[in-house]
Amino acid sequence: MHKIRKMFSTRNQLGIRFVSPSSASFYAALKQRVDAYFTENQLSKSGNTGLIVKTLVLFTGYLLPPVLVYSLNLPFGVSVPLWIFAGVSLAGIGMSVMHDAVHGAYAKNERLNLVLGYFSLNMLGASLPNWKLQHNVLHHTFTNISQVDEDIDDKAMLRMSPHTRQKSIQRFQWIYAFFIYGLTTLYWVSVKDFLQFARYRRNGVSKRSKAGDAIVLTRMILMKMAYAFMLVVLPILLGYSALVVIGGFLIMHFTAGFILTVIFQLAHTVEGTSHPLPDSSGAIENEWAIHQLNTTVDFSPNNRLLSWYCGGLNFQVEHHLFPKICHVHYPALSKIVSETAQEFGLKHMVNPTFSQAFVSHVRTLKRFGHTPSLMDALD
């Protein structure tokens, strides 16, 4: 166990490999069937007209509230519902537009994906290069592997993995976790990107040259300065109430952060998911696709409104298996995944409703808050 701790302490994620104990490849069969689905139905794997309409709706929902607040010079109390609506729309942009664009799944045109990815992430006040490393590389490759997948890293007073140290206060994390969730994008806007930038440079996750790092850091600083100026400083300079401007900014981000974090956690930090550790040689005993089935859960697959709003992130299994396919196709792919998994004797985990997934997440937070580290048990 000490060797594993040492490996994790340096985040040597490149030393982890997936080793299948079987010669039968689940993913090869699944991919063949998914490709056949698109060929037979003459469909593109990218977005469609409906996605364009949704993008326009969500961007309008984000931009219209501040326009109304400032043009009508609304008092703070009256503006609160509008700022909440802006936060709901901002979270929707993150899930339905940014997420697909950064994965290269929104459109066939890579330049459009890049522009949409930058633009929508900048609306969240976040850095695209960091997100690609944290999400596209670490999370999607090493899902639920403690201290490698940053999405399940312990945060503030939260314990998100059975392999990390338990603290007494975490017995109550199932209560206070949701307040911390609301701070997610505010933390992103302020310091998270800079901490990640330094960490990825130090541990070798980032492969950029020193000159490349300097360019990324300069752009990050300028972007965050421009973001703060446009959303906070400029309205105050124009004479609008500081309470309305700053209060609205905080409410919008708290709303967006809360929604984004809850939706993402319902796929991985719930009952039934595994948190495997590599052995001393760095091996995970499963092919990568089976690892995704074991660490990811779908929820509310029949809720069309939720699926529309959260960009298919309730179909996280399908997204993890095929991140370069647009989320508009996930409901259809879900049936193929389920049938193929059953043929291979594998389980495609699904929580039928949002409430069931939410309760499962609360129970998992409570369990992690009360149980000692599995590493301690093995020592």
- Would you call 85 helix, strand, or coil by DSSP? helix
pTM for the full predicted model: 0.91
pLDDT band (50, 70, 90) for residue 125: confident
Question: What is residue 271's predicted lDDT score, i.e. its pLDDT?
Answer: 96
Report residue 156 as tokens. Answer: 């503030």
Q: What is the pLDDT of residues 300-337, one digit of tens each?
A: 999 999 999 999 999 999 999 999 999 999 999 999 99
pLDDT band (50, 70, 90) for residue 147: confident
* 46-55, 280-289, 315-324, range with the lowest pLDDT: 280-289
At residue 4, does pLDDT exceed 60? no
- Phi, psi dihedral angles at 36 (to 5 degrees): -65, -35
Q: What is the C-alpha separation between 295 and 286, in angstroms, rounded? A: 12
- Which is more confidently placed, 5 or 36? 36
Q: What is the C-alpha separation between 143 and 154, in angstroms, rounded? A: 15
Q: Where are the beta strands (DSSP E) in the chain?
A: 17-19, 283-285, 298-299, 350-351
Question: What is residue 7's predicted lDDT score, i.e. its pLDDT?
Answer: 37
